[in-house]
Amino acid sequence: MGLTTGIVGLPNVGKSTLFNAITQAGAESANYPFCTIDPNVGVVDVPDERLERLAEMVNPQRIVPTSVQFVDIAGLVKGASKGEGLGNKFLAHIREVDAIIHLVRCFEDENITHVSGKVDPASDIETINLELVLADLETVEKRLDRVARQKKSGDKLAIAEYEILTKVQEALAEGRPARSVGLTEEEKFIIKSLNLLTMKKMLYAANVSEQDVAHPEKNPHVQTVKEIAMSEGADIVTVSAQVEAEIAELDEEERKLFLAELGLETSGLDRLIAAAYRLLGLITYFTAGEKEVRAWTIREGTKAPQAAGVIHSDFERGFIRAEVVGYQDLMAAGSLVQAREKGLLRLEGKDYVVQDGDIITFRFAV
């Protein structure tokens, strides 16, 4: 299961610059609104030192990391939900992603035009969030009209959906996102097909200058974004699109030195990915053999058969058992053979919940 994130924000907040840097995909970037009209898509390997150490131990023919897909969605403006700035088209692209990264400008630069004339993170966030809410409100009201007619016939599913949509409509009308309603998993499933924008998880990314990247707490704009994120129960990551662009031009050794000079341990990309995984409750398990060592992404709480199904549907359909060893246990043992000899390799059945870092061999028959 790949993770897809959409990078949104007002025009000229640094979205395309950041996208270019982390994907090296060459998306057009320029200092004027609506530079990005069609969404640019880039796939990035998820850095994981566990995969590297596992590969050193197994010495496979190839190494396959898991990946994150970043979608650079054109700048939204006030009125986007009504079509301003080609807004409807842009909003449609957001519906396809798993999570939204809201990039907020937190740097001052008189050479880079701000669409509103001044740097004001609170106002920027309010503009974007309101457009997402208004777009969802229109979607929900259209659906309510249809469900109301079905409800009159006594259709139980229609009755349930109508009640759920009414709760969501009330929240949206008050300017609150759909995710604030506190729906049960069953209720979310019933309206899942609507793909509501404000039901998606939100991660705020405060885009700062190179001078602020090591000490973002000194930037008042970042503190504003942090307070808003905390009030919404959202996460926040500080990045510098400018720094990421410079990092993208360096080899691995040079990157480490550059980050150290800035007082950073990891790049903005690494922090974004880690935050997105936490946000969505994602974990990684591994398969290892002579042909390949590979990382797989699943949701926390996934049981062994469903984790196997991520590899191939036949694995889930014909699941027999899973041979599992934890990453730390394997590293302590020194090899898969020694892990087996020391009794660290376990046989798990259909009810086993896969843990982050598990190395698994699935046995199946179809």
Residue with tokens 């707490």: 217
How do 99-105 and 319-325 pair as beta strands? unpaired
Is residue 78 helix, strand or coil? coil
Residue 15 labeled ligand binder: yes
Is residue 303 helix, strand or coil? strand
How do 319-325 and 346-348 pair as beta strands? antiparallel
Query: Distance between terminal CA atoms of the chain?
Result: 22
**Alpha-carbon distance values, 287 to 87, 216, 279, 302, 335 (Å):** 43, 39, 24, 16, 14
Query: In whole angstroms, what separates CA 60 from the centre of its chain?
Result: 29
The partner residues of 69 in beta bridges, in order of sequence, read 4, 43
Taking the CB of residue 297, how many other CB atoms lie within 10 A of it?
19
- Cite the beta strand spans of 9-50 per DSSP E: 40-45
Q: Which two tokens stand for residue 248?
A: 């993208």
Residue 207 · residue 175 · CB < 8 Å: no
- Cite the beta strand spans of 130-277 per DSSP E: 201-207, 235-239
Residue 91 · residue 200 · CB < 8 Å: no
Q: Which two tokens stand for residue 129?
A: 């969030």
Separation between Cα atoms, residue 161 and residue 80, nearest integer Å: 27
Helix axes 121-151, 87-94, angle to 10 degrees: 80
Residue 102 · residue 125 · CB < 8 Å: yes
Q: Which is it for the CA torsion 267, 273, 278, 279, positive or negative?
A: positive
Residue 14 labeled ligand binder: yes
Residue 16 labeled ligand binder: yes
Closest by CA position to 103, among listed 215, 222, 266: 222
Write out the binding residues.
12-17
Write out the binding residues for ATP.
12-17
